[in-house]
Amino acid sequence: MKLTMTEIFEIKELLYGLHRTEEAARMKRYIQHGAISTYDHVVSVVLLSFYINRRFHLGASDAELVRGAFLHDFYLYDWHQNGYPGRLHGYHHPKIALENAMQRYALTPVEQNIIASHMWPLTLFRIPKSRAAFIVCLTDKICSSYETVMQRKQRRRKESCGFE
Ligand SMILES: [Fe+2]
Ligand SMILES: [Fe+2]
């Protein structure tokens, strides 16, 4: 994936400072997978979603895609440490992320659906209803799988040199 400097600048403009808030700083402290923070994860999903939309000319609204992708995991807790909803995190966190985001920002229906449906088909009845929501639903799975594989590699590396 290669985005141009102009595209990166465009993405930052479209985020309207969402990535510079106190909550975004908190997301840097929560671990998503391995050593990847929730912030790093959502930024990966933003960049890959934008890239896929542009390069494949899918025609999703860039602004909604970027904002929805950034907020898709706005649940604001460390899911490895929470008693609840830790085990059921996968199912519950889109709803929590949506509530958190709606308390702070005016979201379009497309942005709301991006957040609510990103775990589909796990969340059976919360279905992606736009191109942007389908893109985020797909890129979230790609990024999560990549992060999980990297985590396993890291663990194997540690084990092979006698750690853990
Ligand atoms: Fe998620
Ligand atoms: Fe995610």
Q: What would the pLDDT profile of 14-55 be if each residue is shown by its tens digit? A: 999 999 999 999 999 998 877 899 999 999 999 999 999 999
Report the predicted TM-score, pTM, of the whole model to 2 decimal places.
0.92
Query: Residue 24 C-alpha to ligand 1 middle, in angstroms?
Result: 15
Q: What would the pLDDT profile of 65-90 be if each residue is shown by its tens digit? A: 999 999 999 999 887 776 655 568 88
Ligand at minimal distance from the CA of 140 is 2
Structural domain boundaries enclosing 133: 5-160
- CATH code of the domain containing 77: 1.10.3210
Three-class HEC string of the chain: CCCCHHHHHHHHHHHCCHHHCHHHHHHCCCEEECCEEHHHHHHHHHHHHHHHHHHCCCCCCHHHHHHHHHHCCCCCCCCCCCCCCCCCHHHHHHHHHHHHHHHHCCCCHHHHHHHHHCCCCCCCCCCCCCHHHHHHHHHHHHHHHHHHHHHHHHHHHHHHCCCC
| Total domains, the chain | 1
Ligand at minimal distance from the CA of 116 is 1
- Work out the mean pLDDT of the chain and round it to a whole number: 91
Query: Residue 7 C-alpha to ligand 1 middle, in angstroms?
Result: 25
Residues surrounding ion ligand 1 at CB below 5 Å: 73
